[in-house]
Structure 1
Amino acid sequence: MAEHELKWKLPKKRPFLGGDLVAQSLAQLGVEVSFGLHGGHLDAFLVGCDLAGIKLIDTRHEAPAVQAAEAYAKLSGKVGCCFVTANSGFCNSLPGLATAFADRSPILMVTSSPPLRDAETNSLQGFHDQVVLAKPISKFAHRVTNVEEIPRIVSYAYKTAASGIPGPVVLDFPIDVLFHPPRMNALAFGSVTKPTAVAPGPDPAALDELIKLWKSASRPAIIVGTGAARTTSHDSKKSSPLLQLAEATHTPVFYSQKYSPAIPFDNPLRGGSAGLLAMLPVFKKEQPDFILLLGARTGFLLAGRSGALIPNTGCKLVQVDLDGGEIGKSHAVDLGIVSDSGKLIAGVLAKLEGEKTSIDKHESWLEDIQAIKNLPSQYAKDEPVRPDGRLHPYFAMKAIMTSLPPDSVVIIDGGECGVWAAALLELARPATGIVSTGYLGFLGNGWGYSLGAALACPDKLVVNIHGDGSAGFHIQELDTYARHNLNVLSIVFNNNFWGMSVAGQDLIYSTDESTRPVVALSESCRYDIVAQGFNNRAALAKDSIEDVEKAVKDLGDGSKGPGLINVLVSRDPVTEVTKGMVGKTEDPDWIVVPYYDNVPRPYYREDLDKEKEKAQNGTANGH
């Protein structure tokens, strides 16, 4: 469509304003829904969205609005859109913006500010320069000062969010610009009518080297992250480019916590969580000798530099990413390819077919993977009810996962709760699973993520899993779910503690009888009653595993709006993941650095012994 063919929707009883230009430019680019919280600065834009046909989903706090836009982008494949008002609203939105930037989520934030003439006058909601604040945690931040330039800048920002390495962008429209009528014959269109640029594909020579490395491997593995999200659908029963690649190369597919691909659950090439790779040496199985990291970044979500998931020796590592700087960031790679994941898959499949070449089936390797995947849990022989009378967290979470309807969208939040949920996710057979805490470890994101997921996937049940710690961040969004009649089932896994925090303190200070500081939560808090106050159906599950199963089946049918289940569980046992992260050791030559790698003590053991003797003498002498 040429610029002169653009059809603007003109209001009948009011002027056409800058806010209309913003909304209709976004609609032209494909925006269908926007999440946010009202502010008078934005009225011209909000009324413009109504005219343009953009659905507005109003939240109870700005951070979940941004998080909703992020989840919507992840699950829809489109740019997520959100709106926050000037200064106060914008400052509330910063946690969402920071997460989206760290997790490479393409979102476009619309905000406003005082009139241009009132700059530096201590005007209402005008203290902070929002563009300055946004720049370090966004791909692009800009204040639009001319109403006729709105279509051009909106288009540029939208395509900046979506192209190359995705990420958030922020547009600040001063209130006088939003309420100003434009000169229609002076509009700057930019590329508002043009399609987004095509994603980059792999170098042909790199494909040759990749296939050569692949063919020489005996134990190949693919690990995918959110960068590979567009290579599958949300229907695990359908074929997809990623599944075709796995089948053509006889290579099992594993996933990081950031993204669970839609590969049939009964297919032997579905490896499951990448964490399973760490179990191979434990059971005397060999680790992979070839790994393709497909749109998945290295770091703590893939066990850091420990070698547990990505072996430090004896393994060829190929990393595919849109960001060349990410390749080899923490691991030595044998081949780095800057490419879109979908283009990489298409290139490999075309070469294998065109050259009539094949890759070995590695049947014994696939048998090893399935053997590890099907191992019974170490907790399976425990009693479902712990000595403290609370439900065993393993059995409670297993009951949740096995009682959910297949093809649900599962959003996981929380620390210790999140570990239990991620470990048992496969039992739910979900359309996709997302750990919302991301690279920042940001608790509370699940409330906004679930909102965005419900709009992106309206035909599926969205399961919003929290610990009682993360549940407290934005529980008021239950009201948002109810007002918009969304198919969201929230589950609070409630042990009355900040689970991972108290577990870490117990592990490190196990001989100390003092009270654990600032880790306890209220034993009397009834999240189910809170949910009823927000017009959600609710249940309390506390006496038996059967209570949990019944509550999930009753409230997870999706036929009567949102619901919440308050599941009372014990704080024991502590997950093995937490134990590994804390890294407790009795070796005096090592300093424990909780949640990171331990470091060697910088002085000799005999010096340590002298320090201990000195301390003991001092105690004995009353010093």
Structure 2
Amino acid sequence: MTLISGNQLLVETLTRFGVSTIFTLHGGHLDGVYRSALDAGIRLIDTRHEQAAGFAAQGWAKVTGDVGVAMATAGGGVTNLVTPVANAWADGVPMVFFGAAAPLRDFDALPVNSGYDQLSVMSGITKWSHRATVTALLPQVVARAFQIAREGKPGPVYIDLPTDVLFARVDSEDVVMPNGALRPSPPAPDPTAIAEVVRLLRDAKRPAVLTGAGSVFPDAAAELRELATRLNLPVLTNNKSKGIVSTTNRHAGGSYGALAGVARRTGRQADVVLILGARLGLNTGGRRGSVIPEGARVIQVDTVAEEIGRMRDIDLGITSAVLPFLRAVLDASAGVSFAAGGERAAWLAEFTPKLAAAAAGSPPTASNNNANALETPAGLARQVARLAPADTIFVLDGGETPAWLDAVVSLEEPRRWIGHGYMGIMGEGLPQAVGAQVASPDSPVICFTGDGALGFTLGEFDTLVRHKLPVIVIVNNDRGWAMSQHGQDLIYGKGRRMISDLAPSRYDLVAAAFGAHAEFVEEPSQFEGALQRALDSGGPACINVLTDAMDIAPVTRRFVGEIADGPHTPTGLARVPYAESLAV
């Protein structure tokens, strides 16, 4: 008889599912797991906050497309995981979170690191939450967790691990180990539906494609580019799919909001919209019809049928993974003639990218509005876009800060842009950069963050240094919560800001105290040299750039909405900010 512990069973199951890295923060409940993981060759990346561990695992998952794994000790460790778990839930990121728990017999005895039901906290923000209760069955529980996290609509799973289940030993002959190889085939489209798709796209005069994470995982870039070329239409992206068509490609249409921009500028709206692996919500214009026109014929493709038709009627809903769908459309349209000129060509021309020229032709210049020659956030973003290595992975954090870079950066492939999701969580950038660098050690990783957002997870510079992760953190230090400041200016008028100012803090000195390379940039002309020295250092770095956020980013005006025109409608209803056109 060979005895094996629950700790060992957990780790052996993880190895069978290809887990090479676990993101965590030490807790004594999990020491047995850590020892088994190191013995098995699994890398442990320990952060300075459990929340950072959860976000780092998400950064890893977004770059690799595989299931990210994070774990935390019982009690406060698990509650610190709540925010990254909720973020993964909102954005459909495949994750397995493990939380240590008190022994089963002490569940209601108030032992150390206890006092609440951890499972009940997680159940509303996960695809599946489960408490392991039998040591011999632990491998089956873990296997189920991975299957649920990655199949269908990806998302987070939480497993509660009582310490008596982990440390108990069982006869290895009583354990059935999963092989980790089972991957159900993705749903495929119906041929009749494919024929209708081809007909709608053939007859369209102003078609457009909206892509999401489902276009990237698995990678459908080649098929999407072929479809765009054959049909001569614009491809628009969100934070998850940016780069799936090169941003300098003539078919790259920019972000979803470009549809609204073209409509305002030309009066022409899309007549057919193909949505590939993206969810309907804020980023698609909500219920306003500002992005997807109310009169457009809409085709939505998603692996999960219940996602189709959220918030609006869909003309043709197709339950399918994006990759087999695109291959089926390409096969079915091989002999079809699509109009390449005329109105469709003029429509595509409205989206022709000018990003490369904008980035390349923007030398460092001082703000004309500031006698101290401070950089503007927009000017800093142009410098970053111009000077960053071509294969950089960008991780974004902040309110307005990401929008400035989004407008000018060029990307040649997907999975190199990690931005905010629906929750818009501040502070996720630096830890997600940790995960991105672990996932892609040979790629330059730049975390472009606002000063406010960085304050949440500033201690993760220690994580970068200890684990020798050469992430370069560029701080847009505009000494405030710029989106909040500008939102208050629009709603209440200038001079009436509330709790939205910050000090010109020396984040570079904090990074240096942890052992990172540090630079303080006060004038635009200093930035290029600072970035080159950071790259040459070969290690983690912080470039703290003082900026003057005088300009309001368009994203802020869009979020504030109609209340910027006055607090009340002509009929006296109160306008609601940070919502679609809403008056109550």
TM-score by length of 2: 0.93
- Closer, same or farther in 2 for the Cα pair 1:521/1:421, shift >3 Å? same
1:344 matched residue in structure 2: 325
Q: Deviations over 1:28-83 (max 9, x none)?
A: 11111111111110111111111222111111111111111112112212111111
Offset at residue 446 of structure 1 (A)? 1.0
Query: Residue type of the partner of 1:36?
Result: T
Query: Residue type of the partner of 2:477?
Result: N
Q: Deviations over 1:96-116 (max 9, x none)?
A: 111011111111112211112
Q: Of 364, 367, 391, which residue of structure 2 is paired with 1:384? A: 367
Q: Are 1:143 and 2:125 counterparts?
A: no
- Closer, same or farther in 2 for the Cα pair 1:339/1:534, shift >3 Å? same
> Counterpart of 1:424 in 2: which secondary structure?
coil
> What pairs with 1:266-345 in structure 2 (closer than 5 Å)?
266-284=248-266, 286-313=268-295, 315-345=296-326
1:251 matched residue in structure 2: 233
CA contact (8 A) 1:386 1:570 kept: no
1:169 matched residue in structure 2: 157
Offset at residue 540 of structure 1 (A)? 1.3
1:556 matched residue in structure 2: 535
- Closer, same or farther in 2 for the Cα pair 1:251/1:406, shift >3 Å? same
1:198 matched residue in structure 2: 185
- Closer, same or farther in 2 for the Cα pair 1:291/1:195, shift >3 Å? same
CA contact (8 A) 2:253 2:353 kept: no
Offset at residue 599 of structure 1 (A)? 3.5
CA contact (8 A) 1:552 1:565 kept: yes
- Closer, same or farther in 2 for the Cα pair 1:73/1:526, shift >3 Å? same
CA contact (8 A) 1:385 1:391 kept: no
CA contact (8 A) 1:463 1:489 kept: yes
Q: Are 1:33 and 2:24 counterparts?
A: no
> Counterpart of 1:96 in 2: which secondary structure?
helix
- Closer, same or farther in 2 for the Cα pair 1:573/1:194, shift >3 Å? closer
Query: Residue type of the partner of 1:567?
Result: V
Q: Deviations over 1:124-176 (max 9, x none)?
A: 11212111111111111111111110111111111111111111111112111
Offset at residue 442 of structure 1 (A)? 1.0
CA contact (8 A) 1:494 1:567 kept: yes
Query: Residue type of the partner of 2:228?
Result: A
Query: Residue type of the partner of 1:102?
Result: A
- Closer, same or farther in 2 for the Cα pair 1:200/1:320, shift >3 Å? same
Q: Which moves more between the two structures, 88-97 or 44-53?
A: 44-53
Offset at residue 448 of structure 1 (A)? 2.0
1:547 matched residue in structure 2: 526
2:208 matched residue in structure 1: 221
1:446 matched residue in structure 2: 429
1:577 matched residue in structure 2: 555
1:530 matched residue in structure 2: 510
Offset at residue 393 of structure 1 (A)? 1.9
1:414 matched residue in structure 2: 398
- Closer, same or farther in 2 for the Cα pair 1:88/1:202, shift >3 Å? same
The separation in 2 between residues aligned to 1:396 and 1:138, in whole angstroms, is 38
CA contact (8 A) 1:222 1:294 kept: yes
> Counterpart of 1:490 in 2: which secondary structure?
strand
Query: Residue type of the partner of 2:479?
Result: N
CA contact (8 A) 1:410 1:430 kept: no
Q: Who wins on radius of gyration, i.e. which is larger?
A: 1
> Counterpart of 2:328 in 1: which secondary structure?
helix
Offset at residue 373 of structure 1 (A)? 6.8
Q: Deviations over 1:185-230 (max 9, x none)?
A: 11133x4444221221212221111111111111211111112112
2:83 matched residue in structure 1: 95
Offset at residue 254 of structure 1 (A)? 1.1
The separation in 1 between residues aligned to 2:491 and 2:450, in whole angstroms, is 22
- Closer, same or farther in 2 for the Cα pair 1:219/1:401, shift >3 Å? same
Structure 1: gaps (5+ residues)? 1-9, 234-238, 602-623
> Counterpart of 1:240 in 2: which secondary structure?
helix
Offset at residue 388 of structure 1 (A)? 5.8
- How many residues were matched structurally? 572
CA contact (8 A) 1:279 1:372 kept: no
Offset at residue 263 of structure 1 (A)? 2.7
Q: Are 1:106 and 2:94 counterparts?
A: yes
CA contact (8 A) 2:243 2:413 kept: no
Q: Of 565, 569, 576, which residue of structure 1 is paired with 2:543? A: 565
2:465 matched residue in structure 1: 482
Q: Are 1:491 and 2:474 counterparts?
A: yes
Q: Are 1:364 and 2:346 counterparts?
A: yes
Query: Residue type of the partner of 2:231?
Result: T
> Counterpart of 1:485 in 2: which secondary structure?
coil
The separation in 2 between residues aligned to 1:83 and 1:29, in whole angstroms, is 16
Offset at residue 245 of structure 1 (A)? 2.4
The separation in 1 between residues aligned to 2:224 and 2:218, in whole angstroms, is 6
Q: Deviations over 1:303-361 (max 9, x none)?
A: 32333321122x211111122222111122211111111121122122223xx224222
The separation in 2 between residues aligned to 1:184 and 1:165, in whole angstroms, is 34
- Closer, same or farther in 2 for the Cα pair 1:338/1:519, shift >3 Å? same
CA contact (8 A) 2:355 2:409 kept: no
Q: Deviations over 1:539-580 (max 9, x none)?
A: 112212x222222233235x5111111111112111122122
Q: Are 1:264 and 2:242 counterparts?
A: no
> Counterpart of 2:550 in 1: which secondary structure?
coil
Query: Residue type of the partner of 1:121?
Result: A
Query: Residue type of the partner of 1:208?
Result: A
2:502 matched residue in structure 1: 521
The separation in 2 between residues aligned to 1:328 and 1:577, in whole angstroms, is 26
Structure 2: gaps (5+ residues)? none
Coordinate RMSD, CA, aligned: 2.4
Query: Residue type of the partner of 1:553?
Result: Q
CA contact (8 A) 2:5 2:167 kept: yes
Offset at residue 374 of structure 1 (A)? 8.5
Q: Are 1:124 and 2:112 counterparts?
A: yes
Larger relative CO (CA 8 A, sep 6+): 1 or 2? 2
The separation in 2 between residues aligned to 1:388 and 1:203, in whole angstroms, is 64
Offset at residue 121 of structure 1 (A)? 0.6
